[in-house]
Structures are given as C-alpha cells and as structure tokens.
Amino acid sequence: MAETQRHPFLHGLSKHRGAPPTVVVIFGASGDLTARKLIPAVYNLGFDNLLPADFYLVGYGRKPIPDDEFRALASDAIKEFSRRELNADVWSRLARRTSYVAGGYDEKPAFDKLAAHIDELERQIGRDVQRLFYISTPPSVFTPILLNLGASGLAAKHLGLPHHSKVIIEKPFGKDLASARALNETIRSVFEEHQVYRIDHYLGKETVQDLLVQRFANAIFEPLWNRNFIDSVQITVAEEVGVEKRGGYYEQSGCLRDMIQNHTMQLVALTAMEPPVSLDAESIRDEKVKLLKAIQPLALGPGGDVARAQYAAGMMGGKAAKGYLEEEGIAPQSATETFAAIRLSINNWRWQGVPFYLRSGKRMARRVSEIAINFKCPPGTLFAGSGRFDIAANTLSFQIQPDEGLSLILNTKVPGLDTRTQPVKMNFRYATTFGSNTPEAYERLVLDAMIGDGTLFIRGDEALASWQLYTPVLESWAAAGREGMDAYAAGSWGPATGDALLAKNGHVWRQP
C-alpha cells in the first residue's frame, strides 16, 4: 500500500507493458504537435495507469516559460485535444512531475543545464531513469539537437543498462536520399540504432496494426495473399483540407514527400511483406526492408509509373474552394504537387505481375485512408448474360481513417423467385464492436518507445530504401518544372493522369 501511495501511477500498471522509470523530454514543447498530440498522449497513458511509477515530463524550447505557465498550457491542450476530459486527480499527479527548460537547440550550455535538471530528478528519487528525447521540431534543427545530445553526454547516459537514453525523431526524415543518409550518419555518430525511434504515426493506428493480425492470424487469408488470387492492390490516402496556413512548409514538401514516401509506403510494406519468423521488432522490420528493396525502379515520363497534379478551384461541402495557386504563401508558378499517384511493381515470387496503385492528395472528395485488396474475378461462364447477374470482384478493404475497420465485398443472391445476384458489403468497425474511445496512435507509439519496442518505428535502412525509390522521381519533377503537371477540381477524386495509370492495365480507382 505504501508503495502505491509513493508511486501514484503504479496502481493498475500492466506488467506486460510496464516501462522503467522515465523522463520524457519534448524538444519543441510549445509547438502544435506537442499540444495536439504529445501532451494528450502522455495524459491518456497516465489515465490508463500505463506510465511508470517514476515518470517526469520536461518541455524544452527556445522561449522562456515558467514551469507553472507550461503546466497551464499543457492543461489547456488536454482540455481541447484529448480524447478524454481532464480528470483532476490524474492531471494533478502528472502536473507535479512536469517542468520546463529553456534554451537554444544549438547551445551546448543549455543542454548541460537540461542534463543537470535530469540528474537532479534522479537524485530526488534515488534511482536511475531512462531519458526519452522526443524531437518535435522543424527538421532544420534535427542535427544541432542530436549533436548537442551527444556533446552533453545525454545520448550515452546509462547506455547498455535498462535505463539508457532513447530518441524519437519526427518526420520528415530527410528530403531525399542524400539528406536521409546524412541524417542517418549524424544519428549514428551519437546514438546506436537500438536507441533510435523514427516515428510514423500511421503505424500506431489500430487498423494498420491489425493488418498483420488479419494476414497471419486468419487461415482463410494467407493462402490467397499472392499473385494467384489477387488482381491488384490500391492504397488511398486522401485529405479534404487544402494547405490552409501551411503554404510555406508545403511548398518545400509536396505530396510525394509529405505522404507517399513515408505513410503510404509503410502501408505497402505491411500489406506485401513476407511472414516474419517472429513478432519481435527486428524480424518484422527485416521483412519490410526486403519488400521495399524488391520494388522495381519507377518508369518516368509520359506513360510511366507516376502522375502529379495540383488542385484547382472547385466545390467542397457545397462551398467554393480556392485552387492551390491561389492559396496564401504559394508562388504563382509553383511546381509543387498536391496529388501524386504511383504504380508499383514488386519483383518477387508472391507479387510478380500484381500492380500496387498508390494515390494521395489534398482537397479530394472526402477524407479517407484505405487499403483495398482486389481479388481476381471468378470465371463468367455460370453467371453471364441476361442482365440478371451483377458479379463484382471480391474486395477486402482496410479503413484506416476516419472510420477504422474493414469490409469484405461478396456476391450474393437477391431474395425472390428469380435468380439474381448483387454485390454486398460485410462491415466490421472498431467503434461499434469495441467502443469509439480507442487509443490515439501517439499513445501507442510513446508507450512502445518507453518500453523499448521498435516494431512500429522505422529503421534507418528502411527509410533509405524508400528514398532510393522516390529520389529519382523528385529529381525528374524538379528538372521538368511545371511541364507534365496536371490539375483536378477541388472536391474530386483526382486528375485524369491518375486514372490513366490504372487504365493501362484495365483497372479503375475504387471510390472508398
């Protein structure tokens, strides 16, 4: 009882998911991601009794903020963005262990001050704590933060012990192959690979995690998961929003860097990888890397494997929407794509001849992220002609957002005295089966990093394999400028050039 009173987070702690004593340091503590995702994630882990007994949260940023003011900002973020309302008891326990350190990202003395602050926390509780550094800043300061973590000794603290230091790095992980390699070299000069957690929040979503369960825990799927039965795979990551007030950032990024190279390729890897020998992190990530390396180089130019476009003026929700070139902060002759479509060919035994189609864009018809497995059509000899038979290909689709779940399209007989067929959809939704208040992706990922589970994080060679595929595309587009840039109306499903990628093989985009 005394132990529970001393460590208020200890009560109800899952032993299986238990983390050692931890201090989480968030670089960029006054940023939007911290308020919207990271602070609420930590709070909800505390609500669920999944924080370690000795847990501390430290914000770090350039702006001087008193501890009490930072706690107030954190409380406001929880009230506005958490999936749960603010619970006074849970927050009071967390608030007592929340503090702030001000300093520049390129100032070694400020990192020494941070190290001394954490050392003092260790002295207060009389035990070592692991240091988990979350870099939630613009990529321009990734390198100075990493180098100063090394120079101050924070990166190597307790290395080899259960309480060693770790670092979580937000995307974008480089802007092309060369910059990603340079960032990896910087990381390796300071941290060992097992200390590094390159985050992609899509991997924390329930449906993405469920991919491996559906594939490998259901005997009806695995025998069919190959070129003999699957006709094509489509992955759509569509957004309704435009660039809004992020025009300056998006001009330097574009759809390929922002969505395709990271989020969408992670979905490809989990959908197409071979069964791992076990569920440990390295076995799964080994198979993902093998899959990425099996993807053939993309054919560029007219009739190739890629298409790009910008949204033009259109209608969104019954209201007029501006085109990309009319948005704030966008150059009049911008060649930045807001839509990209890709046709991938995987050169291995399982997927030879099965096209994987990817598309992502802003200002599309609706917000949806989906993986659709399209099976081959049955022979038409039995159900052909007379107009009484509507036979569709069986499709298994994983809805990643907004309504997490999966659906299966089957053909069935329409009730009546006449024999007629019709495709029907069988649905499973997490919200209706398990309740709607499921954990956010960042909750799972922060917890996994604390306990040292790298399964849902990206390894260095994995990031490089993806950049190796897409860097030639980016270079080709940069050289072409606006030549070959298509357009699509806001509120539509994309441009004609995106449709043409599928038409070459007799396919059409599925409308989620």
Maximum pairwise Cα distance, the chain: 84
Query: What's the CA gap between 343 and 225, in Å, rounded?
Result: 19
Which among 10, 25, 2 is positioned nearest to 450, based on CA atoms?
25
What would the two tokens of residue 252 be?
Answer: 């330097």
Which among 209, 230, 271 is positioned nearest to 441, based on CA atoms?
209
Q: Indicate the residue type of 202.
A: Y
- Other beta carbons within 10 Å of 79: 12
Map residue 345 onto helix, strand or coil: coil
- Using the CB atoms, write b or e for 122-140: b if 16+ within 10 Å: beeeeebbbbbbbbbbebe
In angstroms, the first-to-last Cα distance of the chain is 53
Strand partners, 237: 360, 369
Antiparallel, parallel or unpaired: β 356-361 and 395-401: unpaired
Query: What's the CA gap between 341 and 496, in Å, rounded?
Result: 11
In the annotation, is 7 catalytic? Answer: no
Beta strands in 28-66 (DSSP E): 55-61
Query: What's the CA gap between 334 and 332, in Å, rounded?
Result: 6
**Rama region for 57: left / alpha / beta (φ>0; ψ in -120 to 50; rest):** beta
Map residue 311 onto helix, strand or coil: strand
- Active-site residue among 7, 164, 201, 263? 263
Would you please indicate which residues are annotated as catalytic (active-site) residues?
A: 263
